[in-house]
Structure 1
Amino acid sequence: MQTTPLSPEDPAQIGGFELLGRIGQGGMGQVYLGESPGGEPAAVKVIKPSVVDSTSRLRFAQEIDILKTVWGARIAQLLDADADSDEPWLATEYVEGPDLGKHVMTHGPLPALLVLSLGATLAEGLGYVHKQGLLHRDLKPANILLGPNGPKIIDFGLAVFAESSASLTAANTVVGTPSCMPPEQATGVKPLTSAVDVYALGAVLLFASTGHLPYHANNIHVLFHMVTDPATTPDLTGAPPELVPLLAAMLSHQARDRPTVTEVVQQCRALVEAQGLKLAQARRRLTTYTVAPPQDFPTLLPAPVSQDVVPAPPTLSDQTDAPLSDEAPSAPTSAQESGSDGQRTMFLTSPYQARQEEPPVRSEPAAPAPQTAQDEQDKAQDAPRLARPDGRSPARSLRHSAQARRTAQQLREAYAARAAF
């Protein structure tokens, strides 16, 4: 998350947390980057003094109670809170990374494979929330943080218990983000069900894959009409074809027509596996892609090369088009990478490092030695093997030449003399 300096009116500490900078702000409060006495980073949310009244305190206390109840790897965990303080506050786990909205606006939509991984991860996280009898009710791109350990869901300020028809909202008032809000929430239907979070997740995944939400209008009243009108279908323009059926189902007008969060996980998993990957692999790629600049990873979609396969050294046939040179090819070192298909192979050590010795020094070719009786005998032995049926002079074979055998023997003797064993 992007942090800005504190302003003069900001407190230096609250609840024992030292405040280091501003993370963001909302209608009810300011969010700071804080640090506990033990050095633990935290996101500290403080209610603005101008809005502190009995209703805001009650709503804030409800958010704290919900954060005490909810759990899961995809939820930013509650660290501490005080709803009765002069300035009510709560501190949650700090997630180092941008929210989904900022990431997509900066780097563009995610590839389809990564959207499926995101969908499975968030749907599973929402499943844990629903098992506690809770609904988030305000899932949107800004409430998905892309941290180094994967995406996390934040801001349970509008969360409610699923079976409750009670609300702190005034009569005829709808709270939430209209562009991610399902029709039943927009029309004030009570009680709501887990299908509201499925719809909102569909809107989040649509945004992740296209950069736009299901409905968009400059006028809030027009937007509400589009959301609640059964004849106005969500805008799926630009969505990858393999995602369209799932997104259309999640954004169904009727809550009963939407899949459950468990079914969303299963469908995302099936689509990922159809591309030859396991879901855990896709999740690791999602985290890598969102933590580092996307341009550093030009190809994340093909199946990874097995780590157990060691690339074979290039053969003579692999280099037929390479220019000839008197210089010996340099051996790859630990800092060199090879591969022209987007897959990068790292050599751990060079062949010379593996033997813990210096590379042989290449000297100028020596003058040819005078022919000896042994040379004449070797040539006589090689002649029948190298003769050609057409009577033309045979091409020399490095493998069978007497000179190559002598050179190999000399090298073996030199290495044997220098070996430490």
Structure 2
Amino acid sequence: MSGQQSGPGGSAQVFQPLTGDDPTTIAGYRLAAKLGAGGMGKVYLSYTPGGRPVAIKVIRPEFGEDQEFRRRFAQEVQSAQRVQGLFTAPVIDADTDGAQPWLATAYVPGPSLADAVVAHGALPVEAVLLLIAGMAEALHVIHGAGIVHRDLKPSNVLLAADGPRVIDFGIAYAADATSLTGSGVTIGTPSFMAPEQAAGRKVTAATDIFALGQVAAYAATGSPAFGEGTSHGVLYRIVHEEPDLGGVPPRLTELVTRCLAKDPGARPSIPEIIALCQAANAETVLRRPEDWLPGPVAADITVRAAAPAPVQAPPPPTVAPSVGYTPTAPVRPAAAPPAAAAPPAAAAPPPGYGPAPAYQPPQPYRTPPPVAVPVPPAAHAHAYAPTPMPAYPGAPAPRPPQRGGRRGALAALAAALVFTVVGGGAAYVALKDDDKDKGQQAQGGGRSDNAGGGGQSSPEPSAKADPKPVDHKGINLTAGYHLTLSDDSLRPQQGEDGGYELSYDTGWYLDAESQGGQLVLLDPGQEGSLAACREDTRFTQNVYVNKLSKGRQVCVITGTGHLGLLTVQGFSPEDSPSKYITLDVTVWRNAIRPASGR
């Protein structure tokens, strides 16, 4: 989810200067150059306070005006921030609620696969194998976060010196249901869509596998597997015809052919894809050397690594402020502070955003001058004389100071010592009693001394008792069916896509579809319980069945406040006409606050 796209060529084309239509800052990030533009928005180069380059994608204003886009965009950004893979560009910051949504990712100094193929031709077989293996690892962590990319294509794959980076995951989903998709704005690239996507059917993780096969064919031949032309013609061939793989090298044929299966269920899993790359590799193991890319492509990486330096200060305003602002004058020792402080917004971005401001050495501390206290005139010095008060209740009034003599000084010193000992002891007793009262209240005594005397506060209400578990043994949940945890008789019902609490999707994964619903796959050997499901926060929207084995447990958290614990007991036999998973289900109803009240 990044969008670091730019055209081929030298640094002047990679790092385009800002124009009058471009902002100079985004939420405090000072922009250094424009990296590119696309159907979703523009991408700019900026820097973190520590000097690390970042790519900031600013979404088009038309999408920001669509509330459904904003809702989906916020959801996808939250999921994308959990994606921490070696072959993805991590999302480090975002604003989904501002006037114009944006997100920032780590800047990847490398051309996109599309730019590299257009400029230098197809990649050699060894580079394609390393490319696809890295992309498969990226899809593994993306799918693990509950995200389907939906727009995996050569321009969304960046070629870095240490491997590929998959970017822009999730944005297509955010834009898919907006009003703009029906008014001439195309989301997704027809040449790299899957048949179910082109036909308007449900998109699953297997959709990304089909696109991965198309990317492999493109990288190895320089042309899309289903040809080029009008979008309608390309989509028809994807749905109804076979791909043209005549130019694909023999070592890549099995990998590409299996990924481009029309049936989503016939496509290989990610571990199988990596195994196919390993089998087709000339070496005994897949290793990524520093020169894994051809020399001309590596030279493009060098060009993009020479990013322009960050702007040290934002440009001065072109229009004078209309509020009577005057610059703050230099501070002088005898000058009074200005009547009104200057507005801080134009001085520097908020802390933690953009390049760090210029360093200012600390100033040495100076003891402030003593404040002169006005003294009454001598003529009126006798008009007021404060009456000395006893040092503590019952203490004798201090005597007037004796003029001269050592005895008066010793007496004054002795009185001061007596006050210190007696007063300090009284303060200690008072503090000790106060701590004792607080301790009694913390232990449930509930004692409280009010102004009226003797009042007592009511004890804290007791915590709500845990709900009783309801066990359902041996449920066969068939693919395409769902469960509703609030049902007294927990029986699978037909349907896999309708906001259900738990469904077994035909894409071969368990899905939490209800608003606020989530799943947690517990670790092997971890004992599932109500407390474990309440405390674990490794949330995801779906769990693929190939990650499950007998005895594995999955927590189900519904948006309606129910908790469920699934224990896998088995799977359907190979010769079974239906695909199902056998589960023991324990349900705790109303165990947490519903999603609307969290």
Where on the TM-score scale, by shorter chain, does this alignment land: which range?
Answer: 0.5 to 0.7
Change in Cα spacing, 1:217 to 1:109, as seen in structure 2 (3 Å) is closer
Q: Which residue of 1 aligns with 2:268?
A: 259
Aligned pair partner of 1:99 in 112, 118, 124: 112
Q: Which residue of 2 aligns with 1:70?
A: 83
Matches within 5 A, 1:153-168: 153-158=166-171, 168=177
SS of residue in 2 equivalent to 1:79: strand
Give 1:12's aligned amino acid: T
1:279 aligns with 2:286: yes
Matches within 5 A, 1:23-172: 23-53=35-65, 54-158=67-171, 168=177
Q: Which residue of 2 aligns with 1:292?
A: 298
1:188 aligns with 2:207: no
Structure 1 unmatched ranges of 5 or more = 295-421
Looking at structure 2, the residues matched to 68 and 219 of structure 1 have their Cα atoms a distance apart, in angstroms, of 36
Give 2:42's aligned amino acid: Q
1:12 aligns with 2:24: yes
Structure 2 unmatched ranges of 5 or more = 1-5, 7-13, 301-598
Looking at structure 1, the residues matched to 195 and 272 of structure 2 have their Cα atoms a distance apart, in angstroms, of 21
Give 2:163's aligned amino acid: G
Change in Cα spacing, 1:18 to 1:172, as seen in structure 2 (3 Å) is closer
Structure with greater helix percent: 1
Looking at structure 2, the residues matched to 149 and 292 of structure 1 have their Cα atoms a distance apart, in angstroms, of 11
Deviates more, 1:69-78 or 1:199-208: 69-78
> What's the CA shift string for 1:280-317, capped at 9, x where partnerless?
1x4544257575249xxxxxxxxxxxxxxxxxxxxxxx
Q: Is the 8 A contact 1:179 1:216 kept in 2?
A: yes
The aligned length equals 284
> What's the CA shift string for 1:386-407, capped at 9, x where partnerless?
xxxxxxxxxxxxxxxxxxxxxx
SS of residue in 1 equivalent to 2:141: helix
> What's the CA shift string for 1:116-140, capped at 9, x where partnerless?
1111111112112122222111100
Q: Is the 8 A contact 1:30 1:47 kept in 2?
A: yes
Deviates more, 1:47-56 or 1:120-129: 47-56
Change in Cα spacing, 1:16 to 1:156, as seen in structure 2 (3 Å) is same
Deviates more, 1:136-145 or 1:117-126: 117-126
Q: Is the 8 A contact 1:134 1:160 kept in 2?
A: no
Q: Is the 8 A contact 1:21 1:33 kept in 2?
A: yes
Give 1:34's aligned amino acid: S
Matches within 5 A, 1:376-387: none
Identity level (%): 42
1:204 aligns with 2:204: no
Looking at structure 2, the residues matched to 227 and 263 of structure 1 have their Cα atoms a distance apart, in angstroms, of 23
Instruction: State the Cα distance separating 1:233 from its structure 2 match.
Output: 0.6
Aligned alpha-carbon RMSD (Å): 2.5
Looking at structure 1, the residues matched to 177 and 108 of structure 2 have their Cα atoms a distance apart, in angstroms, of 29
Give 1:228's aligned amino acid: V
Q: Is the 8 A contact 1:46 1:90 kept in 2?
A: yes
SS of residue in 1 equivalent to 2:88: coil
1:241 aligns with 2:245: no
SS of residue in 1 equivalent to 2:30: strand
Looking at structure 2, the residues matched to 20 and 9 of structure 1 have their Cα atoms a distance apart, in angstroms, of 14
Instruction: State the Cα distance separating 1:172 from its structure 2 match.
Output: 9.6
> What's the CA shift string for 1:194-239, capped at 9, x where partnerless?
211111011111111000111124222111111111xx11111311
Deviates more, 1:123-132 or 1:94-103: 123-132
Aligned pair partner of 2:234 in 197, 202, 223: 223
Looking at structure 1, the residues matched to 84 and 283 of structure 2 have their Cα atoms a distance apart, in angstroms, of 32
Larger Rg: 2
